[in-house]
Structure 1
Amino acid sequence: MAAMADAPSVLFARQSGGNAKQQDSHTDQGSSLSALVSTLVPVLLISSVIFLVFLFLAKKLHRVYQPRTFIASLRNWQRSPKQSPGFLGWRKEYSMLRDDFVLGHASIDNYLWLRFFRMLAIMCLVGCFLTWPVLFPVNATGSGPGSGLDILTFSHVQPGPRYYAQAIMAWVFLGWVMFMIWRESHYFVRLQQHYFLSPYQKARISTRTILYVNVPEEFRNEDAVRREYNGVRKVWLVTVPKQLADDVDDRDTAATKLETGEMKLLTNVTKRQLKAEKKGNSSSPATGPGGRGNAVTVDKKDVPTHRLPVLKFLPLGKKVNTIDWARSELHRLIPQVASDQAALRHDRSEPQGALFIEFESVAAAHNALQQAGAKSKAKSKVKMTPKEIGMTPDEVLWKNVIKSFATVQLFNIVCTAFVWFLCIFWTIPVAVIGAISNIDSLTDTVPFLSFINQIPSSILGVVTGLLPVVLLAVLMLLVPIIMNIMAKLFEPTLGSAQLKVQGWYFPFQVIQVFLITTFSSGAAAVVGDIIDDPTQAPTLLAQNLPRASNFYISYFIIFGLLTASLQFLNIAPLLFFLILGKILDKTPRKQYNRFVSLAGVGWGALYPKFTNLGVIALAYSCIAPLVLGFATVGFFLLYLGFRYNVLFTLGTQVSTRGESYARALQQLTTGIYLSEICLIGLFAIGTSSTNMAIGPLVLMIICLAGTIVWHVFMNRSLQKLRDDLPSEGSAGFISQMEHPAGGADAEKYPGIDQHGAHQGYSHNPQAYNGGATHNGNGATHNGHVDNDGYAGYAAAKPEPNVAPAAKPGMMTRIKAFFKPQTAASNAITSISPLLNTPSRPYTREEEQDAYVHPAIISECPIVWIARDAYGLSGQEVRASRQKIGEGFEMTDDQAWFDEKGKVTWSQEVEKAPIWEDEPAY
């Protein structure tokens, strides 16, 4: 969605500079109020239509627009309150819930994502109050060239004493921005520490576990590790069994093939039988389950087949019966895999160069990190690198954790070099697409392409209008995908891969979307004048670069209105629910996974797009302060759109434990540096006309030097703050056992019931699974069924005896604003009843196998098919069990073909054959 919003904006900018020579003057091109209105009106109309569609669908498609209020994969206390009835009923809960509700019910990443937009909106709003009263009169009364909105920019000021206004306001506003970044950075560190010291988080194994890489052979044993570190609870020596992993993949592939093959067979037979019944010539017997026959004839064309490729990436090879092939593969692989797994469980004699250490407490893990990174204190004798803390087992990229330091560095250097190549040369394909959109000029310049003019105007309009936008959107989407693939080649976890993508994608956004667009929009407009008189290039660029801000006003309008409205519409889940899901989800497993899964976001690709918007606002803050106003509105609208999704629809796909927010704050300082460098350049150009520009130039050089010093000292203070872990009782949490273990001890924890519901929330079992029941006709009911076809589940609702947290007074909030560490502690304390609930106690097996390679502990997946009305599914289940043997399970429970021959399931999540009560590692 963001790529689609990017595409027309970037394309317009690249075109606008190239077409400027055809205008009478650059000042007449897009700088007037009418040009602004011409952008605002259509985008506002489109956004309004999108929002109205959301309002119309929101009450009908609960699975798309409020899954967090009922979805059974969430614990009761993790759900959001059910939305009030009515066309605008959602506004009540939306307005009532505070942002820190997300911190207590979802994740720290989702909470900080909202905080990021709120911070940007406040930062720009204060910037408007600071800069507009001073810079608008100074710029508007200047004697420089320009008209319309251009009179409010730096280009309308002639070199002279007025430059002091720009310099002084840069000191004031950029100083405010530096304070905001400093405050938020310190707030984040303390918030993260208190969050992971909460009973819910510190009871999780991952919170106390550190991944070490580059482990030398002499320390690849538990005794050596325990001698080196204090407070060690458990050590997992990493073994990556390549052959076993390949066999497990082959086994799971065969199971998937069997499941899809069986479902294809059953679907073909069911549809053929239903068609025959309608015609009155069914060949099946007249009696049987459900009133139909208990036997059917299976035609040869009903049986699925596939080819066995000689090479995995070539779909060419011998054609085989899918079901028979899968059964024989499972018969061969299941005992072979089980034997190899049993051998590896008892023989870990060849551990590889990585290990996981679980410590007794969060403090002990923190001390181990300090011990490894200490410079002045006694260094650890173990020459191994603590790579990451807090990763869950399913986030580990096992092939990467055992790679040597040299291999990782080689991958890092090569991939980073390729990213910088993309940053510089991605302009070429974008320019080609821009040429397609400006086909008239292209055919005039390149005569042999004149045949294009013969294309009918209707088709040509699509080629020049829609095609470039789609192509550019695809190009913009490809970049983070490529980066994500590269990061997963050497990063040890999915979270660190996201942070690497964020570090790569941000400079790409700044260079391609901001800098190149700015210079192409400003420089191309005066290229003819520069050719005529090259000595005037600096002056002409100084006058025209500020005017490129007019494009970014449109850019903020498009992003603010269009992206925010698309966030409410939730277009991707909507398309999957209405169209793609019905096409793709042909098995009970796929329908189940779609039902219980919440959409997540990739922080590495998402943050840089919007951090770049903040950089643009900062860079233009003092040379075109009007941008700050539109940025304020844009960021506020984005905050509203993302807030709805975070509260009611989004889960967490990959956790960075909030580090993506911290990195975005660091990247935001790029806007400060660009603003200062831009002003220094403009003032330096002004010194060629008058010595009065020297004073402002000196002020900005001092400001730049001060910013560098501030940045260095801020990072040092942040490191000291990270090293200073607060006491575990400092956030006001109720004392809980440090290491709950054993499922039988769940009753010892008064804060949770059997489903993990927190006290003060509904303990009705139906609140967890919806109380849905399956009747004899294959229908699902629990009192009502939503219009989207999904059973309505009870939502988490506070009991009357739970008093809401008192709102802090104005003076308290003002003091907390200037004391971010205290504010972070208060934020956690305000939601501590939620975080006081420990995670479900682990069984002994779950604890022992937490960080064991999945191939060593993976069981053969259950094959789940739908029950048909003719008894064929039962026959297939019995035949598969008999032919495959021990260690295999197949069932047709809880799923069936309805009267129209479509696959459906009971939607009783805990009764689904593939449901597992997954531990919260």
Structure 2
Amino acid sequence: MSIVSGATIIVFNILRPRNKIIYEPKVKYHVGDKKPPRISDSIFGWISPLIHTKEPMLIDKIGLDAAMFLRFLRMMRWLFTAVAFLTCAVLMPVNVTYNLKNVKSKDRDVLSFLTIRDVQGNILFVHIAMTYVICAVVLAFIWLNWRKAVQLRNEWFRSPEYVQSFYARTLMVNEVPKKLQSDEGLRAIFQSVQVPYPTTSVHIGHRVGKLPELIEFHNETVKELEDVLVEYLKDGRIGKKRPVKRIGGFMCFGGNKVDAIDYYTAKLQRTERAVEEYRSQIDMNKPENYGFASMAAVPYAHIVANILRDKRLKGAYVTLAPNPKDIIWDNLNQSKAEMVRKKAVGWAFLCLVCFFNTVPLFIISILANLASLTSFVPFLQSWSNASPGSFTFISGVLPPAVSALFGFFLPVLMRWLSQYQGALTHSRLDRAVVARYYAFLVISQLVVFTLIGVMFNCVKEIVTQIGEHKSIQEILQNIDKLTGTIPRTYVDQASYWLTYYPLRGFLVLFDLAQVINVVWVTVKKHLWGRTPREIREWTQPPDFQYAIYYSNILFMGTVGLVFAPLAPLVAVAGAVVFWVSSVVYKYQLMFVFVSRVETGGRLWNVVMNRLLAAVMLMQALMVVTIGLQQSLKPWYWVSTVPPLLIVLGFKIYCARAFNPAFNYYIPSQEELRAAQIYSNDNARNRLEKRFGHPALHQELFTPMVHANMTHLLAEVFKGKIGSAQTKLDEYGGTKIDAHVVAGGIKIAGIEEVGCLCCSLVFKLTYPV
């Protein structure tokens, strides 16, 4: 894995200077003055910006969500560096000394020599003491970074970007009773309770019916027309034959052939008229069970939301409004009964997935124990003797590879289930995915996987005893001793996790190299259409999947903490991967990925709670290890319990000390007096325009072709060709010259100014 990882880095250093639109898309597509630092074309030119760009500049350039993620990675790398140093310096000498004195050489191997597996007696109190030290180190790191996270979030609350945003001073009202589903009803809800600040405007949501589907149908028609036009006018020349489309028929047989350009043009005219007609009637639609209320200032909204956070106002509940781009509008109008039904179905399906996940876990468990099966499977014994190198490679690399393959689809499934169950925002969806995916990983990969290993070892022991011709009575008498195999199984599986970490490290570096992306974009360039819209979709910075990355890092941290007092080498492997991840993801977030919607690091408290749960899991396993140690008196395990209570108390302390200031803008009296006041929201219908359903006001797609094709439009379309300006939402509302063809359809020409690798760069850059 080290060789493959090194080769991946070499490939990245070779490809990066020649493929900037893939490896540095944010240099071209950036918002305002948030352009990434300059990066040279030299092979290692990307390293200098990573070293010299510190957190304050990161917050300004990539946002607080990304900066908090990098802070979490820095915390994990230094935390595991400390844990690895302590455990290796203290526990390894103890384990080695005990094994040399008390364990026969034939009963130990290179790895068990360094672990707690065969250690017994009072010397285990050294390991117990080390769990206290690890617990203290983790809590110290969490406390220091929690304080800094609260400080950063408070600065974000007071930043011009947040204070001047409209959603920051808006409240969202959900589950509005039917009789109050109107603007007057919303006002009555707020008037029913004593709050220090009144609303400046209210707006109840209205049903949009099939309008979103109509708009989607219109936009797909635009894409189809663009594909036909770009193919027909390829290289700035008109094709020999006008494109045709088959209407009706089956599998390219039957039906009628029609002119494709005329067909899509007429279809586009019909959909535009349908959308306009539907929008003109939207006020007649019934109201929804949600609404919004704006306040005169940002501090006022936070104060009111904080006061009402645990209260029901005539059946409705009030929260801070999210950024409109963050809202999952399809879930916002669901009734309470529908939400309950979907949650029940979602949990049932999730349990079903967990149940069937035991199949790949069983496969992974068998692969992880190939070496112990050689005594029972002649083929494996022959293979091991004939080619020990390939046998070791397969038994070491294949289990984590199979685990990674099955784990690739789980986050996608978790996200779909969470959205189906009614998550109202993408940020809340991320929090749900972190919680569920992390729990799923821990339960399946650590708990169930180990239990399968225990059962596997039990069967192996029974088969061995049968081979020794022991009676059934003797075998049954030894069953109670098999409980001691639980901690032993955990320790034996340290070898599996020592192969898991190198694989995760390689995947991190493979993510940096983006070899698949380079190949895929090249294939798309030569095999499929290259409309301006497609080129922009291929080359714009992708969204960073915080929920998945956080969950995977948390799981790696949990594994490292659980095994730190048992097998210190696992903590060392974890520290190495966290250092690699910290460097790689800093580059990715600075130059490649963007945040879908800025939430100000809202995932931080969810992640910290899971890290505390990892510490408790580490301690719980130590309780089991000591409790099942037959050489110790039964009450000795009590000495392992206090850290559990300490972590639980620390969690309560964090919730009380940090959560209020983290979740809400708590202004001082001076800040209240100096707050910027807005009082004319009603006059300009700002609330309705900003928090109405996007389908009510979003611009429809405008057909686009390359600029060198626009002079041929007069030959393509019959009739007079006019000129006008059109606003392109795809480019942040930028206005551009367009040609008006038959039926009043506008077609914009997009000028290309250069080519970087496989992808074209537009003259229109990312909107300011």
Q: Same fold (TM over 0.5)?
A: yes
Contact 1:522 1:547 in 2 (8 A): no
- Following superposition of structure 1 onto structure 2, how do residues 21-170 of structure 1 map, counting pairs within 5 Å? 43-68=1-26, 70-76=27-33, 78-142=34-98, 143-144=102-103, 146-158=108-120, 160-170=121-131
User: Cα–Cα, structure 1 residues 891 and 599, in superposed 2: closer, same or farther, change >3 Å?
Assistant: closer
Q: State the distance in 1 between where 2:85 and 2:524 align.
A: 48
Q: State the distance in 1 between where 2:124 and 2:177 align.
A: 61
Unaligned runs of 5+ in 1: 1-42, 274-295, 448-461, 743-842
Code of the aligned partner of 1:569? A
Q: Which residue does 2:408 correspond to in 1?
A: 477
User: Cα–Cα, structure 1 residues 433 and 125, in superposed 2: closer, same or farther, change >3 Å?
Assistant: closer
- Following superposition of structure 1 onto structure 2, how do residues 332-481 of structure 1 map, counting pairs within 5 Å? 332-344=270-282, 347=283, 350-374=286-310, 379=311, 381-386=313-318, 389=321, 391-429=322-360, 431=362, 473-481=404-412
Q: Which residue does 1:459 correspond to in 2?
A: none
Q: State the distance in 2 between where 1:235 and 1:317 align.
A: 56
Q: Encode CA deviations 1:274-329: one digit per residue, 9 max, x unaligned.
A: xxxxxxxxxxxxxxxxxxxxxx6753xx414255699xxx9999555333332222
Code of the aligned partner of 2:509? S
User: Cα–Cα, structure 1 residues 146 and 613, in superposed 2: closer, same or farther, change >3 Å?
Assistant: same
Contact 1:530 1:536 in 2 (8 A): no
Equivalent of 1:629 in 531, 555, 572: 572
Q: Which residue does 1:511 correspond to in 2?
A: 443
Contact 1:423 1:511 in 2 (8 A): no
Q: Encode CA deviations 1:211-260: one digit per residue, 9 max, x unaligned.
A: 32211134333344345163434333212311333322322222222222
Q: Which residue does 1:565 correspond to in 2?
A: 509
Q: Which residue does 1:326 correspond to in 2?
A: 264
Q: State the distance in 1 between where 2:621 and 2:759 align.
A: 61
Q: Secondary structure at the match of 1:305?
A: strand
Q: Encode CA deviations 1:386-438: one digit per residue, 9 max, x unaligned.
A: 3553x322332222101012221221232123223322321214546888999
Q: Which residue does 1:554 correspond to in 2?
A: 499
Q: Secondary structure at the match of 2:111?
A: helix
Equivalent of 1:694 in 612, 635, 645: 635
Equivalent of 2:180 in 203, 210, 219: 219
User: Cα–Cα, structure 1 residues 167 and 475, in superposed 2: closer, same or farther, change >3 Å?
Assistant: closer
Q: Which residue does 1:178 correspond to in 2?
A: 139
Q: Cα distance, 1:874 vs. partner?
A: 3.2
Q: Secondary structure at the match of 2:173?
A: strand
Contact 1:196 1:202 in 2 (8 A): yes
Q: Secondary structure at the match of 1:83?
A: coil
Q: Cα distance, 1:95 vs. partner?
A: 1.3
Q: Secondary structure at the match of 1:865?
A: strand
Q: Which residue does 1:586 correspond to in 2?
A: 530
Code of the aligned partner of 2:11? V
Q: Cα distance, 1:67 vs. partner?
A: 2.7
Q: Which moved more, 1:881-890 or 1:654-663?
A: 881-890
Q: Secondary structure at the match of 1:373?
A: coil
User: Cα–Cα, structure 1 residues 488 and 297, in superposed 2: closer, same or farther, change >3 Å?
Assistant: closer
Q: State the distance in 2 between where 1:545 and 1:66 align.
A: 43
User: Cα–Cα, structure 1 residues 445 and 698, in superposed 2: closer, same or farther, change >3 Å?
Assistant: closer
Q: Which residue does 1:665 correspond to in 2?
A: 608
Q: State the distance in 1 between where 2:367 and 2:90 align.
A: 44
Q: Which residue does 1:705 correspond to in 2?
A: 645
Q: Encode CA deviations 1:770-793: one digit per residue, 9 max, x unaligned.
A: xxxxxxxxxxxxxxxxxxxxxxxx
Contact 1:265 1:303 in 2 (8 A): yes
Q: State the distance in 1 between where 2:369 and 2:248 align.
A: 48
Q: TM-score, normalised by structure 2?
A: 0.82
Contact 1:397 1:494 in 2 (8 A): yes
Q: Which residue does 2:731 correspond to in 1?
A: none
Q: State the distance in 1 between where 2:163 and 2:239 align.
A: 59
1:201 maps to 2:162? yes
User: Cα–Cα, structure 1 residues 477 and 656, in superposed 2: closer, same or farther, change >3 Å?
Assistant: farther
Q: State the distance in 2 between where 1:649 and 1:215 align.
A: 42
User: Cα–Cα, structure 1 residues 471 and 877, in superposed 2: closer, same or farther, change >3 Å?
Assistant: farther
Q: Secondary structure at the match of 2:287?
A: coil
User: Cα–Cα, structure 1 residues 674 and 87, in superposed 2: closer, same or farther, change >3 Å?
Assistant: same
Q: Secondary structure at the match of 2:152?
A: helix
Q: Cα distance, 1:896 vs. partner?
A: 11
Q: Cα distance, 1:149 vs. partner?
A: 2.8
Contact 2:717 2:742 in 1 (8 A): no
Code of the aligned partner of 1:324? D
Q: State the distance in 2 between where 1:206 and 1:317 align.
A: 54
Unaligned runs of 5+ in 2: 379-392, 466-477, 723-739
Q: State the distance in 2 between where 1:348 and 1:415 align.
A: 34
Q: Cα distance, 1:613 vs. partner?
A: 0.6
Q: Which residue does 2:694 correspond to in 1?
A: 854
Q: TM-score, normalised by structure 1?
A: 0.69
1:645 maps to 2:602? no
Q: State the distance in 2 between where 1:445 and 1:622 align.
A: 32
Identity fraction in percent: 18
Q: State the distance in 2 between where 1:627 and 1:601 align.
A: 28
Q: Which residue does 2:562 correspond to in 1?
A: 619
Q: Secondary structure at the match of 1:242?
A: coil
Q: Cα distance, 1:52 vs. partner?
A: 1.1
The count of aligned residue pairs is: 709
- Following superposition of structure 1 onto structure 2, how do residues 901-916 of structure 1 map, counting pairs within 5 Å? 907-909=762-764
Code of the aligned partner of 1:705? L
Q: Secondary structure at the match of 1:148?
A: coil
- Following superposition of structure 1 onto structure 2, how do residues 749-764 of structure 1 map, counting pairs within 5 Å? none
Q: Secondary structure at the match of 2:127?
A: helix
Q: State the distance in 2 between where 1:215 and 1:72 align.
A: 41
Q: Cα distance, 1:98 vs. partner?
A: 1.0
For the aligned residue pairs, the C-alpha RMSD in angstroms reads 4.1
Q: Cα distance, 1:551 vs. partner?
A: 2.2
Code of the aligned partner of 1:556? Y
Q: Secondary structure at the match of 2:206?
A: coil
Q: Encode CA deviations 1:706-747: one digit per residue, 9 max, x unaligned.
A: 33333334323334444774437999x9x89566999xxxxx
Contact 2:401 2:503 in 1 (8 A): no
Code of the aligned partner of 1:115? R
Q: Encode CA deviations 1:511-562: one digit per residue, 9 max, x unaligned.
A: 23333344445663564225534232123333342232222223223323x1
Contact 1:261 1:304 in 2 (8 A): no
Q: Cα distance, 1:905 vs. partner?
A: 6.7
Q: Cα distance, 1:848 vs. partner?
A: 5.0
